[in-house]
Structure 1
Amino acid sequence: MGKLKRFGVLAAAAVFASAVILPLAASATPMADAGAKPKPTIVLVHGAFAESASWNGVIARLQKKGYPVVAAANPLRSLEGDINYLRQVLAGIHGPIVLVGHSYGGAVISGAAAGNSQVKALAYIAAFAPEKGESALELSNKFPGSTLGPTLNSNPLGDGSNDLSIKPDKFRAQFAADVSRDEAALAAATQRPVRDVALTQKATEAAWHNLPSWFLIPTADKNIPLAAQQFMAERANARDVVEIRGASHSVAVSRPLETADLIIEAAKSVR
C-alpha cells in the first residue's frame, strides 16, 4: 500500500502532563537557529467531550523540540461551522502548517485543509477521516465496538438539536480509562459538549486524498471502533500508522510522548 505500518510502541509511563497548566501559545513562535529553515506551525484541534488543554502534554513535547504550536478552540457546533472557524484560525498563521485532529477534530481538519496550500500534512489522533458524504456518526457505526451512546447526556437546545456530553460517572471508563481517576474527573468537569448536528453532518471535503497523512490508533478506544480507525487509515494510504495497545480514546493525554512523536514525524516530512 506504499505505507509503513507499525503495530505497538514502547511502553510509556502514564504521565498526565495536562495537570500542569501550560501556555497554549497561540502566537508565540520559538526562535529558530540562525540560518535554519523555520519549522512548520502545528495546529492541534480537539474533538467532542474535550477542550484545548487536553493537548497540554503534547504541546510541552512539541515546544521543547522547537515547534510553534496553536491549540485551536473547536466550537463543536456544526461540521461546516467548525471547519469555517478553523479556516479563520489558519488564515492568521504564516508559513507551512501541520494540522492535527483528535476524534471529531479529524473531520474538521479534513475539511479545513482542503484548498489551503499552507497545510502540508495531516495527523489523525484517534480520529475520524471521513470521505465526502460521510458523517462522524456514520463512520462510528460502520463497525461494531463503540459504547458511547448509552453514556451520553442530551440537552435540548430549543431548535430541534441537542448538546451531547458524557455522564461524569461514565467519563473515565468510556473516554479515558488509562488516565488517573483525579485527572479523568477534571476532564469530565471541563469537557465541552458537542451539538448532535456536528456528528451527523456529512463531509463535503476530504483533504487526505491530496495530503500525506499519519494515524495514531489506540487499540482500547471505546468511542471510535478499532476496525473503523484501521479502515480510515488504510483508505487514506497513510504514510505511517502507529497502534498503541491498551490506550484509550484520550491517548493524547495518557500517551503524550508517543502522540507528539508521530506529529513530529509528520512535521519532518515538510520540506
Structure 2
Amino acid sequence: MPASPPTVVLVHGAFADAAGWLGVIDELQRDGIPVLAVANPLRGLASDAAYVASVTEQIEGPVVLVGHSYGGALITVAGTAENVVALVYIAAFMPEEGESLSELRDRFALAPLVGHLKETTYPAGGARPDATEVTIQPQAFPEVFAADVPAAVTKVLAAAQRPLSTAAFEERATAAAWRTKPSWALVAGTDRVINPDVERFGAERAGATVVELDGASHAVPVSRPKAVADLILDAVRATS
C-alpha cells in the first residue's frame, strides 16, 4: 500500500443514510484508508449523480467510488470523473448507459420489497405538483431490508429511513463508468430489496470481480462490514 492510498467515497442507497457505513468506515480507517461517506440526496438519478460527481471531483488525488443499492446507479454515472480509479458495488444496481432502474429490475422476478413500499408526497418546488417518494413499511423493514441484523438495530434503521423519489426509477443513466473503469461487486445472497439475480447480471455484464455472500441481506454493510471493507480494500490495492 502506498503512503497515500486512494480516498474511498461511500454512497448509500435508498431507505438509509451515511450512518449505515459506520462499521465499514471503522474497518477501512484501521487500515489507514481515507474515507468520506456522502449524504445522498435521493431525489433523482441525474441530480444525485451530479452531486456525487461534484463531491468526488473536489477530492485531491484518486478516488475509489463505492455504491450500495441505488448508490450503485449513482457511481455508474458519477464514476466518469477523471480521478475515479475504481468502482465497487455493494448489493447494488449496475445500469447500462440509457437504461433505467425499473428496466434493469424488471428483467428478473421482482424482489419482496415491491409489495411493502409506502408512498408519500413532498413539495417538488415552484408551481410544480407534489412529487412521490417511497419508504419501506416499518413492520416489513426487518425482514425485507435487514433480516440478518439484530432486531433492536432494525427498529432504529426503520425509524431513520430516508425516502427515495420514485422518479429515480424511471430516469435513464447517462453513462456507464464500469465500461472504462475496473469494478468489483458484492452480491447479497438473500437480498429482498434487489433480486440477487439483478446484482449478478449487472456484475457479469460489467466484467466485475464478484464476491457473493450467502445469507447476506440487503443491509450487508451493517451486518457484514468486514466483508464489505475487504472487497473495497481489494479495489484500493489493485488500483494503488
TM over 0.5, shorter chain:
yes
- 2:185 match: secondary structure: strand
Alpha-carbon contact 2:57-2:83 (below 8 Å) kept: no
Alpha-carbon contact 2:53-2:78 (below 8 Å) kept: yes
Q: CA offsets per residue over residues 167-186 of structure 1, 9 Å max, x none?
A: 11110100000001110010
Aligned-pair CA distance for 1:149? 1.4
Instruction: Give the distance between the partners of 1:127 and 1:207, measured in 2 at CA.
Output: 14
Query: What letter matches 1:128 in structure 2?
Result: F
- Are 1:81 and 2:51 counterparts? no
Alpha-carbon contact 1:220-1:247 (below 8 Å) kept: yes
Aligned-pair CA distance for 1:253? 0.6
Which residue of 2 is the match for residue 152 of structure 1? 117
- 1:187 match: secondary structure: helix
Alpha-carbon contact 2:100-2:169 (below 8 Å) kept: yes
- Are 1:38 and 2:4 counterparts? yes
User: Number of paired residues?
Assistant: 235
Which residue of 2 is the match for residue 251 of structure 1? 220
Which residue of 1 is the match for residue 200 of structure 2? 230
- Are 1:136 and 2:101 counterparts? yes
Query: What letter matches 1:259 in structure 2?
Result: V
Instruction: Give the distance between the partners of 1:152 and 1:252, measured in 2 at CA.
Output: 22
- 2:174 match: secondary structure: coil
Alpha-carbon contact 2:109-2:195 (below 8 Å) kept: yes
Which residue of 1 is the match for residue 33 of structure 2? 67
Identity among equivalent positions (%) equals 47
Instruction: Give the distance between the partners of 2:154 and 2:106, measured in 1 at CA.
Output: 25
- 1:77 match: secondary structure: coil
Which residue of 2 is the match for residue 57 of structure 1? 23
Runs of at least 5 residues in structure 2 that lack an aligned partner in the other structure: 124-128
Instruction: Give the distance between the partners of 1:196 and 1:39, measured in 2 at CA.
Output: 37
Alpha-carbon contact 2:12-2:18 (below 8 Å) kept: yes
Which residue of 1 is the match for residue 126 of structure 2? none
Query: Normalising by structure 1, what TM-score?
Result: 0.84
Which residue of 2 is the match for residue 161 of structure 1? 131
Query: What letter matches 2:108 in structure 1?
Result: F
- 1:144 match: secondary structure: coil
Q: CA offsets per residue over residues 187-231 of structure 1, 9 Å max, x none?
A: 111110000001221111000000000000011001111111111
Question: Which is worse superposed, 158-167 or 99-108?
Answer: 158-167
Query: Normalising by structure 2, what TM-score?
Result: 0.95
Alpha-carbon contact 1:104-1:199 (below 8 Å) kept: no
Instruction: Give the distance between the partners of 1:141 and 1:51, measured in 2 at CA.
Output: 26
Instruction: Give the distance between the partners of 1:86 and 1:234, measured in 2 at CA.
Output: 25
Query: What letter matches 2:212 in structure 1?
Result: E
Instruction: Give the distance between the partners of 1:141 and 1:184, measured in 2 at CA.
Output: 28
Which residue of 2 is the match for residue 199 of structure 1? 169
Runs of at least 5 residues in structure 1 that lack an aligned partner in the other structure: 1-31
Question: What is the RMSD of the two structures over their aligned residues, measured on CA atoms?
Answer: 1.2
Query: What letter matches 1:92 in structure 2?
Result: Q
Which residue of 2 is the match for residue 241 of structure 1? 210
Instruction: Give the distance between the partners of 1:72 and 1:269, measured in 2 at CA.
Output: 23
Stretches of 4+ aligned residues off by more than 6 angstroms? none
